Structure 1
């Protein structure tokens, strides 16, 4: 592919990108790319952006990115500061570990609220819904004297349409259609022998809620406060195979936590059945590259991971700002994408591997493993505990994005 200049505010060249997928990663990428002066179109296959989902933990690494994009205050207004994996109990209610003032705090936000903040940072015309991508096609400018471009073909309202740009950002999730097209030999997502229920409720008479993680054998139940007296809970259990449905998912969760300490049964009971989400835990084996020509993978499309470390959404947010920074600081587009690829594969694949290892440990439901987990949680010194639980949150985003965007606005 021929080298081409662009991405720098000083170049005077207007560049364009198509972001496929209006999830957290895709929208953050759109915001970051617009911040460096790119024209961005976001294609989302859903016919409407619905306020669905459950809670999401934003660790300090993701919060730093939001601050870089001047979105931290808006997100914080919808979030609750909490300590993750510091208050730990057994199903009978016995405390295994209590939070310490030195524990790392995270922002807990409803996914729909974060989504709303990100959408609000984009012009309405930048987002096209009911747009199902069917193909990505590279155009070699050396053959016809035009600039190298990439065309996205999508279906909307029964008709096929096209949009052409300098770059495609594939943020279309773990089952990415673009990854299947451009990386056809890569294995599909791998089931990691765990399944998870999530819910959000507004309980009466049990507020305030202290964030906690309850450890059962082969099961974990988490409680996290949200704004407006809402509570986000999740139940993770071992599963032999994916796709196991229970008809009444709400009733299944109630059955599994029957007899567990308060307020777990009360919170589950108070949750509307239509707010109980059930998903299996899948992740991706490491890809050899996140870049194919002028197409880059981002978020779950590139490095889907199990939720054990709470870093899935955080890593997608990191991807977005590193991509924008690479495009800002490299005049050569291929060099920018190579920089993004090197930085993000090194970082995100290491986090995904650590999450997979944590998932494997949590799957061990033997009595000995359960006893050892409790003992480690009780006896680990505070400094080491902080390091172990917050190891991946110390990352800081590149600073050129703020400098370049500020220079562009003046």
Structure 2
């Protein structure tokens, strides 16, 4: 079927959905409260399912041409702050890295977006067959439809992240009680970094000295990266999660991306799942005889999977920063790493 859709939010989910619906012949109106697309942001990792979604909406070639494949690195893995390797891994060509502003720019190409358009809620939208809430973790659309009991909830942790110029000598994550620091490539001459602490609420700025005090003595690369970080280049926020919704749609309203299933960042899947959401919704509405059937099909296709990922991501974060039992956890991980290494050696013979 074809119809008219209003999308609230011009982030990854909203723009991907707009492109997917346009391919199905829908008339799409995207409304974004911000005055323009963001010019800053960190690097996103796109896994194969996300790359397939980008191909489906015609953005694959541009993204592949602008992104960077993760290459193998001998110093990639999971470690302790003292430098002990728990699991050594190799990078590979399956993950594509791209800066968030660049991905948004590519997705917005050819999409009609009205910036500076504040939408009070789905009931304020007239003339649309479908209203799509792509308005993020603190979605007004979700609250208007499902109520305050589905407001995003704190995970009891805060995060910092950013990108610095220059390649790092080591990549991977370091796990410690109540803390985590990760380093990944952001291209041949740039590095993406992220840090997390168990905390009841976000810290007040300035942040850089606090990060150096906490992570500067770790022997796994944070000090090297933090030397290049500037206060202005730090993003800081509380980690939030959307509770399990009974459905991703209600009447003519449907949720995509973080509005439906915002999750902790420990799997690196938020943007990936947002892209897949957009394609799934477009296909379901395009192939259905009615809006109700199309939204029901989208809900069946996406809700169980994404809600499972929300739970897994939360579990990974708790495991990474567990305050007790971490020595036993490290022993198990180190043993698993040894088995993985032995299996890899046998395959290469």
Regarding TM over 0.5, the answer is yes
**2:327 alignment counterpart:** 371
**1:136 alignment counterpart:** 122
Q: Distance in 2 between matches of 1:29 and 1:173?
A: 14
Residue 299 of structure 1, aligned match among 257, 274, 282: 257
- Residues 283-302 of structure 1 show CA distances to partners (whole Å, capped at 9, x for unaligned) of 01101111111110111111
- How far is 1:180 from its partner? 1.3
Structure 1 residue runs of 4+, over 4 Å off? 83-86
Does the Cα contact within 8 Å between 2:160 and 2:237 map onto a contact in 1? yes
Three-state SS of the structure 2 residue aligned to 1:260 is coil
Residue 10 of structure 2, aligned match among 22, 45, 60: 22
**2:347 alignment counterpart:** none
Is 2:242 the partner of 1:256?
no
Highest Rg: 1 or 2? Answer: 1
Residue 99 of structure 2, aligned match among 84, 91, 110: 110
- Residues 15-70 of structure 1 show CA distances to partners (whole Å, capped at 9, x for unaligned) of 22111111111111111111111121111111122212212121222122112223
Is 2:294 the partner of 1:308?
no
- How far is 1:262 from its partner? 5.6
Three-state SS of the structure 2 residue aligned to 1:193 is strand
Residue 277 of structure 1, aligned match among 198, 211, 235: 235
Q: Distance in 1 between matches of 2:141 and 2:220?
A: 45
* Structure 1 range deviating more: 356-365 or 164-173: 356-365
Does the Cα contact within 8 Å between 1:168 and 1:294 map onto a contact in 2? yes
- How far is 1:373 from its partner? 3.0
**Given the two structures, how large is their TM-score scaled by the length of structure 1?**
0.77
Number of equivalences: 339
**1:3 alignment counterpart:** none
In angstroms, what is the RMSD of aligned CA positions? 2.4
Distance 1:210 1:258, change over 3 A: closer
Does the Cα contact within 8 Å between 1:209 and 1:231 map onto a contact in 2? no
Does the Cα contact within 8 Å between 2:175 and 2:320 map onto a contact in 1? no
Three-state SS of the structure 2 residue aligned to 1:357 is helix
Does the Cα contact within 8 Å between 1:78 and 1:227 map onto a contact in 2? no
- Residues 224-258 of structure 1 show CA distances to partners (whole Å, capped at 9, x for unaligned) of 1113612110001111x12x323201221111112
Residue 137 of structure 2, aligned match among 170, 174, 177: 174
**1:344 alignment counterpart:** 302
Does the Cα contact within 8 Å between 1:306 and 1:355 map onto a contact in 2? yes
Three-state SS of the structure 2 residue aligned to 1:174 is coil
Distance 1:301 1:250, change over 3 A: same
**Given the two structures, how large is their TM-score scaled by the length of structure 2?**
0.90
Does the Cα contact within 8 Å between 1:108 and 1:224 map onto a contact in 2? no
- How far is 1:104 from its partner? 7.6
Three-state SS of the structure 1 residue aligned to 2:95 is strand
- How far is 1:86 from its partner? 5.8
**1:64 alignment counterpart:** 52
Within-5 A mapping of 1:317-396: 317-366=275-324, 369-380=325-336, 381-382=339-340
Does the Cα contact within 8 Å between 1:287 and 1:302 map onto a contact in 2? yes
Does the Cα contact within 8 Å between 1:81 and 1:108 map onto a contact in 2? yes
Q: Distance in 2 between matches of 1:251 and 1:92?
A: 21
**Which ranges of structure 1 fall in alignment gaps of 5 or more residues?**
1-5, 8-14, 138-150, 153-162, 387-410
